[in-house]
Structures are given as C-alpha cells and as structure tokens.
C-alpha cells in the first residue's frame, strides 16, 4: 500500500526573497530590472518584499530577465531527470495568489529541469470584478477542464465550455474568468521564447 504524499504549498512570502536573491546575486540593480521588464521600480520592490502577488505571467518575465526558470523562483529543488510525474492531489498550490487576483495556480512538472514550457492547472475567479489583462511574450494554450469561461483576447470575446481549447499569442492582452458562480478549471501551458532550457 502506498502512502499519499502531503500536498505541497508554495509560500508566496518566499517568492519575493528568491527574486531579490537572484537579482542581487547577478549584480542587477532594481532600476535595471525595471528597465528590462517594463515594470516600475516601486512594483518590483513590493514584489521582492512580498507585498504584491505577481501572476505567473509576471514571474515568467522576471525569470527570463534574471536568466532562471519560473520553477527556480518558486523554490523547487530540481533533480536531474528526464521525466516528471505529478499525481492528482500532489500539485503544489501557490499560496496566497488568489488573494489579489482571484486566480489559484497549481504547479505541474515543477521538478522537470530545463523546461521550455510552464504548465499549470488554474482555477478561475467566480466573483465579478474589474481585472487587469495579462500580457507577456510567447504563446499559451488553455484547455477547459471543468466549467464555462469568458475568454478575452484583445478586443475579441469567446465563451469556452468544458473540453474547448484555445491556443494564442500571449503578447496580446488576454483574460479568462468563470461565466457564473460555478468553479472553472483550465489546464494552461505557457511557452516564452528563450525562457526555457535553463
């Protein structure tokens, strides 16, 4: 009989300190990182002090500028392997990320070294609220696992049902939300050019 591993929670408070450690370790000033990423110095300072919860797209931009993977920022010890198996119920939950954006992210394949793609299971917010659009370099794929969602890509609006899939340029502003009070979950894969293989 196998024992179930406890679900790992990625502590949001540690993410900011890791970003700062990578930045200072590479001799990059906060001002220089702001210029590279397009984020303000004030915003980056809040992220490093864990006063702001950056979405995954922001982590991707920071990871690329710092020359590390998103998994490294999340604090994963990455063993050398050619396969990563993550069982249902063992996906690390990114704690606190839903507090500001309403999105809950579960990391998948976080222990695979040198990834060219970053996969997640995302639970979309159900409460109506004005949200900021996401925008980052690369391409993305969303597959609706459960529920029904409104997906905005630029000026276009699509209604996606369970089993629907969309592949898109993530450099265009985009946003996904549940259509009603029912929980909606998506499988999402982000690919950022020159962002993997590290």
Q: Is this structure's pTM higher than 0.95?
A: no
Above pLDDT 90, what percent of the chain?
28
Exposure string over 27-36, b if 16+ CB within 10 A, otherwise e = eeeeeebbee
- Binned at pLDDT 50, 70 and 90, residue 99 comes out as very low
Q: 116-142, pLDDT tens digit by residue?
A: 888 989 988 777 676 788 888 889 999
- Answer whether residue 96 shows pLDDT above 80: no
- What do you get for the CA distance between the two ends of the chain, in Å? 37
What domains appear along the chain, each with residue ranges and CATH number?
11-73 (1.10.260.40), 93-191 (2.60.120.10)
Strand duo 9-10 + 93-94: pairing = parallel
Pick the more confident residue, 52 or 164: 164
- Answer whether residue 196 shows pLDDT above 70: no
């Amino acid at each position: 009989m196998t024992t179930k591993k406890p679900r790992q929670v990625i502590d949001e408070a540690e993410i900011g300190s890791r970003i700062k450690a990578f930045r200072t370790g590479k001799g990059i000033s906060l001002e220089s990182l702001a210029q590279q990423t397009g984020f303000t110095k004030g915003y980056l300072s809040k992220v490093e002090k864990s006063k702001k919860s950056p979405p995954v797209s922001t982590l991707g931009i920071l990871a690329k500028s710092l020359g590390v993977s998103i998994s490294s920022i999340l604090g994963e010890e990455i063993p050398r392997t050619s396969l990563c198996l993550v069982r249902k119920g063992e996906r690390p939950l990114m704690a606190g990320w839903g507090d500001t954006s309403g999105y809950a992210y579960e990391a998948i394949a976080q222990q695979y070294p040198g990834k060219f793609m970053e996969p997640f299971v995302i639970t979309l917010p159900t409460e109506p609220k004005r949200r900021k659009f996401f925008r980052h370099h690369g391409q993305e794929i969303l597959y609706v696992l459960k529920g029904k969602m409104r997906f905005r890509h630029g000026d276009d609006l699509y209604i996606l049902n369970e089993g629907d899939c969309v592949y898109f340029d993530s450099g265009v502003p985009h946003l996904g939300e549940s259509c009603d009070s029912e929980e909606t979950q998506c499988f999402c894969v982000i690919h950022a050019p020159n962002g993997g293989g590290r």
